[in-house]
DNA sequence: AACTTTGGCGAGCGGG
DNA sequence: CCCGCTCGCCAA
């Protein structure tokens, strides 16, 4: 490799990557000329104990000094740093039943990765890696499960600015041929530091590693940052999807189409359309082989254009640089990057954190209580609904109650016998101990109200709140920087990314405190955060009630209220911030207050269906009046879901848009329903209209059918049945893969499900209407017009004994509306006797 | 390897 | 017909 190894002197460079190799840490940077520079530093396997342990255990010093696994120790502030021969020894000594634990000595950070150790102790800064996009085409005659045996037929590498596009194609089917191809690939890759591939972790990177071994090439893979673009896109870009349409498929082609627009013409995706293609194309040689390379290059370039548009890899880099983490796939994991910053800050303060221990299996894990979701007190079409929400609720709570592991005090339990109807009153005896604040954690049952609080010391500032404050400060710094530059200019774009990155960081702090995969996990702490949120929102709703503000719904950090005008509601929000929160927080012993409620928006019309399901038309949003071009806000409804049939989304969206536009005559919607019904039962249907797509949340073998009473195995979920069939064909049906399928015939027992790739137009139209398309809209209409009978349109399938259905699907049997077909659940109000039951003209 | 959390809805299945 | 269960997706 054309790199040079140096002994470091002078100013420390920023590093593009580092990895642990045997007894060394290898650090990579690039010099002024862009040449790769490697530095070598000795690896250290360290753990920490409190210095006080030496006083308590006089024998400790000699135990440490005589251990053959300990190479040294030294004092560092309040801690002793112990250096181990092997990482495994450091971890073993910190085990829950290890020597230290038996002697009541806490061991800190024993499991910290050696690279992280080095970054933390040596204050390593992260440099921007040179990025490229990679795609491979492999021999598709082998099933996905045998990807390690797949010969690489060609590769394409595109530089991040798109000015350099290189490809390689297999010259001959032999080990030597593939070795030459791989050599060519790595000759190209060494210009870069970060290699991005769509689905790379599942496919391309695995194939490369396997083929290097197969042809006998030794390459130090850890020298690159291997970044799977797909999960990074999902994590940093997904919330931008408006409808479920974009969530149907995460394939490169689909995402490119969604992100780059309809003019992005997708080339035929190899291996997906037309069955086995790649090997045949390569084998054919000539123009066909050239086409294979063209496809391959086009995919690599799609990635580049997706990044140009979304910037999610740039955001990953901004997060990584802010948290001293390298921007590979794992660097996108909140647990990883928050830990990076936590240890960084801890080192500044002479603090160390608990050793992380592998958690028990999920069945044994104790959950903690989360947010509160209010049952809507009103459903249907509502007017003038004001929405307030807490700014960054959980970080604000962490700051306000100074919630951190090291500030956590004793649990503080207070039981109070009082009737439930008084449960909302302050306990009256909650004298919080001096110097502490009490996290509200209230359980109310029939007669007992339990304030099962955790106390937190107000001083000094905890490291978790400090981290939140720093991230918030940095976000606002970059927001200010942004304003100094013309929108869209390079400096503006950079500031925008960094602001976005710090927002991601702020929002990740709570999740990490609540994650068992984090060394900072603490159930009591995490529950204190969520329950403080419950308390705040409930206090807000109560306070509103005394001011004629009727809150009809709320979820976690928001309230939806009616009964007053904009001015009064704005006044209320102001009063909450100026008066209510300062007062009640003081009562809980808080000396800080980062809680802030904002009047976010108001809805002109709101169609409220239930918890987490509504659609609204804005009156104003964040101070700006809505206009005709303002899009409706839709939450939770099928329209937003990527797993339902497209027709279900379309029909529901049509009806919602009409409702929000002020169309409020039921008869009008009867016509819409009948038109859709006709289309589903008689019209042209394409696969995309009726396709369902569900992900596999675990590997196929983990779906174990229950045994029925009769001793038979019960049915697996439809997408799993289809996935098993696809597995037989050698398709990739691993964990996380979305299975696309449709219902061929639901009248049989069991129903027949078919993979999307087997589409022959033979879809069960009755099932499509009754189960996939109409219910989503039925629920909207039944909520909007509760006195109207909407269930009568639901039945479509002719009764088995109902004579001979032939010709048109609109036979008498299909149109008959048996009384029993009415779904009582959606007929909210009693039907008016003899009233309009919608015997529309089509009947 | 794949893991931020809990709350909640609806589809599908099976049993009473 | 209702209920309880699992599953996957979505809200926050």
pLDDT digits (tens, 9 = 90+) for A366-391: 889 999 999 999 999 999 999 999 99
Q: Which bases on strand B have an atom closer than 7 Å to a protein beta carbon?
A: 1-16
Can you give the pLDDT at residue A812? 41
Distance A736 CA to B14 C1' (A): 27
Task: Give the count of beta carbons closer than 10 Å to the beta carbon of residue A123.
Answer: 11
Q: A314-341 pLDDT, tens per residue? A: 999 999 999 999 999 999 999 999 999 9
Q: Is any atom of nucleic acid chain B found less than 7 Å from the CB of residue A563? A: no
Sheet holding A165-169, edge to edge: A165-169, A152-159, A131-138, A194-197, A225-228
C-beta atoms surrounding A213 within 10 Å: 12
Q: Which nucleotide is nearest to A636 (CA to C1')?
A: C10
**Cβ A691 to strand C below 7 Å:** no
Give the pLDDT mean for A276-291: 88
Determine the nucleotide nearest to A555 by Cα–C1' distance: C12
Query: Regarding beta strands A225-228 and A558-562, do their DSSP bridges make them parallel or antiparallel, or are they unpaired?
Result: unpaired
Q: Å between A760 CA and C6 C1'? A: 31
Q: Is the pLDDT assigned to residue A693 strictly greater than 90? A: yes
Average pLDDT over residues A128-150: 91
Instruction: Answer whether A35's CB lies under 8 Å from A344's CB.
Output: no
Distance CA A334 to C1' B3 in A:
10
| CA A613 / C1′ B3 distance in Å | 28
Round to a whole number and report the distance in Å from the CA of A178 to the C1' of B15: 58
Find the Å distance, CA of residue A742 to C1' of nucleotide C2. Answer: 28
Strand C bases near protein CB (under 7 Å) are 1-2, 6-12
Q: What is the pLDDT of residue A152?
A: 95
Note the CA–C1' distance, A250 to B7, in angstroms.
26
Segment A612-631 shows an average pLDDT of 93
Alpha helices in A277-361 (DSSP H): 278-284, 286-310, 312-323, 334-348
* % of chain A exceeding 90 in pLDDT: 70
> Model confidence over A696-708: pLDDT tens digits?
999 998 998 888 8
Q: Please state which CATH class domain A380-621 belongs to.
A: alpha beta
What is the distance in angstroms measured between the alpha-carbon CA of A459 and the sugar C1' of B5?
A: 27
Domain(s) labelled CATH 3.30.420.10 in chain A stretch across: 131-323
**What is the CATH code for A639-838?**
1.10.132.60
A642 beta carbon < 7 A from strand B?
Answer: no
* Exposed / middle / buried, residue A537 (Cβ in 10 Å: 0-12, 13-18, 19+): buried
Q: Within window 777-836 on A, which residues have Cβ closer than 7 Å to strand B?
A: 779
Nucleotide nearest to A716 (CA to C1'): B13
Please determine, for residue A90, whether its predicted confidence score (pLDDT) is greater than 80.
yes
Domain(s) of CATH 1.10.132.60: residues in chain A: 639-838
Residue intervals in chain A for CATH 3.90.1600.10: 380-621
Among the residue ranges A205-209, A316-320, A453-457, the one predicted with the least confidence is A453-457
Give me the pLDDT at residue A110, please. 95
Query: How much is the average pLDDT of A790-805?
Result: 71
pLDDT (mean) for A758-768: 94
pLDDT category, A12, cuts 50, 70, 90? confident
- By DSSP bridging, strand A380-390 and strand A408-417 are unpaired
Residue A287 has a CB neighbour count (10 Å cut-off) of 10
Calpha distance A635→A603 (Å, rounded):
14
Query: Residue A703 CB closer than 7 angstroms to strand C?
Result: yes
Q: Distance between CA atoms of A528 and A456, rounded to whole angstroms?
A: 10
The answer to whether strand C lies under 7 Å from the CB of residue A694 is yes
Interatomic CA–C1' length for residue A715 and nucleotide B12, angstroms:
10
Reported as a pLDDT band with limits 50, 70 and 90, residue A828 is very low
Sole residue written with tokens 């589409």: A759
User: Is the Cα torsion angle A632, A637, A643, A648 positive or negative in sign?
Assistant: negative
Find the Å distance, CA of residue A444 to C1' of nucleotide B6.
19
Of the candidate ranges A611-625, A634-648, A796-810, the one whose mean pLDDT is the lowest:
A796-810
Instruction: Name the protein residue, with chain letter, whose CA is nearest the C1' of B16.
Output: A709
Q: How confident is the model at residue A835 (pLDDT cuts 50, 70, 90)?
A: very low
Asked if strand B comes closer than 7 Å to A611 Cβ, the answer is yes
Residue with CA nearest C1' of nucleotide B11: A771
Under the banding of pLDDT at 50, 70 and 90, the label for residue A710 is confident
A695 touches strand C (CB under 7 A): yes
Q: Which CATH superfamily is domain A131-323 in?
A: Ribonuclease H-like superfamily/Ribonuclease H (3.30.420.10)
Span A635-645, average pLDDT: 93
A268 vs A548, higher pLDDT: A548
On average, the pLDDT of chain A sits at 87
pLDDT at A31 > cutoff 50: yes
User: From the CA of A240, how many Å to the C1' of B4?
Assistant: 19
Residues of A from 293 to 332 whose C-beta is within 7 A of strand B: which are they?
329-330
Burial category of A702 from C-beta neighbours within 10 Å (exposed 0-12, middle 13-18, buried 19 and up): exposed
Distance A708 CA to C2 C1' (A): 19
Point out the residue nearest to C12 (C-alpha to C1').
A556
Residues 175-234 of A with CB under 7 A from strand B: 201-202, 228, 231
Helix or strand or coil: residue A165?
Answer: strand
Confidence of residue A134 (pLDDT cuts 50, 70, 90): very high
Query: How much is the CA Rg of chain A, to the nearest whole Å?
Result: 31
| Strand B within 7 A of A281 CB | no
Above 90 in pLDDT, residue A225?
yes
Mean pLDDT along residues A597-625:
95
pLDDT for position A265: 52
CA–C1' distance A625–B3 (Å)? 42
Q: What is the dihedral of CA A374, A377, A383, A388, to 10 degrees?
A: -30
Does the nearest atom of strand C lie within 7 Å of A820's Cβ?
A: yes
Closest CA relative to residue A406, chosen from A515, A499, A525: A525
CA of A104 to C1' of C7 (A): 44
Query: Using the CB atom, is residue A536 less than 7 Å from strand C?
Result: no
What integer pLDDT is reported at residue A818 of this predicted model?
Answer: 40
Nucleic chain B contacts, protein chain A, residues 696-755, CB cut-off 7 A: 706, 708-710, 714-715, 717-718, 735-736, 743, 750-751
* Distance in angstroms (rounded) separating the CA atoms of residues A332 and A326: 9
Residues contacting residue A315 through CB under 8 Å, at least 6 positions apart: A236, A497, A500, A501, A504
Report the nucleotide nearest the CA of residue A228, measured to C1': B2
Gap from A783 CA to C1 C1', Å: 23
| Interatomic separation, CA of residue A714 and C1' of nucleotide B11, rounded (Å) | 16
Confidence class for position A235, pLDDT limits 50, 70, 90: confident
CA–C1' distance A835–B2 (Å)? 58
Strand C close to A636 by CB, under 7 A: yes
| Protein residue closest via CA to C1' of B12 | A717
| Interatomic separation, CA of residue A197 and C1' of nucleotide B5, rounded (Å) | 29
Helices (H), A414-547: 463-483, 490-513, 523-545
Q: What percent of chain A has pLDDT over 70?
A: 88
Strand C close to A533 by CB, under 7 A: no
Q: Are strands A380-390 and A692-695 parallel, antiparallel or unpaired?
A: unpaired
**What's the whole-number mean pLDDT along residues A149-173?**
96
Between CA A757 and C1' C2 the distance (Å) reads 37
């Amino acid at each position: 490799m054309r790199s040079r190894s140096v002994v470091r002197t002078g100013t420390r460079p920023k590093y593009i990557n580092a990895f642990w190799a045997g007894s060394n840490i290898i650090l990579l940077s690039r010099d002024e000329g862009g040449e790769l520079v490697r530095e070598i530093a000795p690896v250290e396997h360290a753990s920490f104990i409190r210095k006080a342990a030496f006083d308590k255990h006089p024998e400790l010093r000699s135990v440490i000094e005589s251990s053959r696994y300990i190479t040294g120790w030294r004092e560092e502030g309040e801690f002793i740093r112990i250096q181990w021969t092997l990482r495994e020894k450091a971890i073993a000594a910190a085990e829950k039943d290890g020597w230290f634990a038996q002697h009541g000595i806490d061991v800190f950070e024993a499991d910290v990765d050696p690279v992280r150790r080095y970054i933390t102790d040596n204050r390593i800064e992260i440099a921007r890696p040179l990025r490229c996009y990679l795609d491979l085409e492999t021999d598709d005659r082998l099933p996905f499960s045998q990807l390690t045996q797949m010969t690489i037929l060609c590769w394409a590498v595109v530089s991040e600015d798109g000015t350099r596009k290189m490809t390689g194609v297999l010259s001959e089917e032999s080990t030597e041929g593939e070795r030459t191809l791989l050599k060519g690939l790595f000759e190209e890759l060494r210009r870069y530091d970060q290699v991005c591939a769509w689905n790379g972790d599942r496919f391309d990177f695995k194939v490369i590693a396997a083929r290097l071994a197969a042809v006998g090439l030794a390459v130090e893979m850890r020298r690159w940052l291997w970044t799977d673009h797909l999960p990074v896109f999902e994590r940093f870009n997904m919330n931008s999807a408006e409808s479920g349409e974009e969530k149907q498929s995460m394939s490169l082609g689909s995402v490119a189409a969604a992100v780059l627009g309809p003019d992005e013409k997708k080339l035929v995706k190899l291996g997906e359309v037309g069955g086995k293609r790649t090997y045949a194309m390569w084998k054919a040689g000539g123009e066909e082989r050239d086409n294979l390379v063209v496809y391959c290059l086009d995919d690599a370039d799609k990635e580049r254009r997706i990044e140009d548009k979304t910037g999610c890899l740039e955001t990953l880099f901004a997060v990584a640089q802010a948290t001293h983490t390298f921007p590979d796939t794992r660097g996108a994991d909140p647990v990883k990057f928050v830990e990076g910053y936590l240890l960084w800050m801890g080192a500044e303060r002479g603090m160390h954190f608990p050793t992380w221990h592998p958690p028990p299996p999920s069945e044994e894990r104790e959950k903690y209580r989360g947010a509160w979701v209010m049952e809507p007190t009103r459903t249907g079409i509502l007017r003038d609904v004001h929405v307030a929400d807490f700014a960054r609720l959980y970080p604000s709570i962490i700051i306000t109650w100074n919630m951190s592991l090291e500030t956590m005090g004793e649990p503080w339990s207070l039981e109070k016998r009082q009737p439930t109807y008084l449960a909302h009153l302050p306990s009256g005896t909650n004298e919080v101990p001096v110097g502490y604040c009490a996290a509200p954690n209230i359980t109310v049952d029939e007669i007992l109200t339990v304030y099962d609080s955790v106390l937190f010391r107000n001083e000094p500032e905890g490291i978790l709140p400090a981290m939140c404050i720093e991230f918030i400060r940095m976000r606002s710094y970059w927001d200010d920087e942004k304003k100094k530059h013309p929108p869209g200019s390079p400096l503006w774009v950079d500031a925008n990314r960094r602001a976005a990155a710090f927002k991601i960081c702020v929002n990740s702090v709570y999740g990490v405190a609540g994650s068992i995969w984090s060394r900072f996990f603490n159930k009591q702490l995490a529950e204190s955060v969520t329950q403080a949120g419950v308390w705040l929102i409930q206090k807000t709703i109560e306070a509103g009630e005394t001011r004629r503000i009727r809150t009809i719904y709320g979820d976690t950090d928001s309230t939806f209220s009616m009964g007053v005008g904009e001015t009064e509601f704005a006044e209320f929000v102001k009063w909450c911030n100026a008066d209510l929160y300062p007062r009640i927080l003081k009562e809980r012993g808080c000396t800080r207050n980062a809680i802030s409620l904002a009047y976010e928006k108001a809805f002109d019309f709101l169609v409220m269906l239930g918890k987490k399901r509504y659609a609204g038309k804005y009156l104003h949003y964040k101070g700006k009046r809505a206009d005709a071009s303002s899009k409706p806000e839709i939450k939770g409804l099928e329209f937003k879901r990527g797993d339902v049939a497209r027709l279900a989304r379309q029909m529901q969206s049509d009806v919602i848009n009409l409702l929000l536009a002020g169309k409020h005559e039921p008869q009008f919607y009867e016509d819409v329903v009948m038109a859709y019904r006709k289309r589903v039962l008689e019209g042209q249907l394409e696969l995309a209209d009726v396709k369902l797509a569900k992900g596999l949340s675990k590997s196929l073998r983990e779906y174990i059918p229950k045994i029925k009473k009769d001793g038979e195995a019960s049915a697996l979920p439809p997408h799993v049945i289809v996935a098993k069939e696809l597995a037989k064909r050698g398709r990739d049906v691993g964990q996380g893969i979305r299975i696309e399928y449709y219902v061929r015939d639901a009248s049989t027992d069991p129903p027949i499900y078919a993979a999307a790739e087997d589409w022959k137009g033979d879809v069960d139209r009755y099932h499509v209407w009754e189960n996939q398309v109409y219910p989503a809209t039925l629920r909207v209409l039944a909520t909007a017009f509760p006195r109207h009978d909407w269930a009568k349109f639901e039945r479509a399938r002719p009764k088995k004994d109902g004579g001979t259905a032939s010709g048109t699907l609109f036979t008498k049997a299909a149109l008959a509306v048996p009384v029993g077909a009415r779904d009582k659940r959606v007929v909210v109000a009693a039907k008016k006797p003899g009233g309009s039951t919608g015997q529309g003209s089509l009947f």
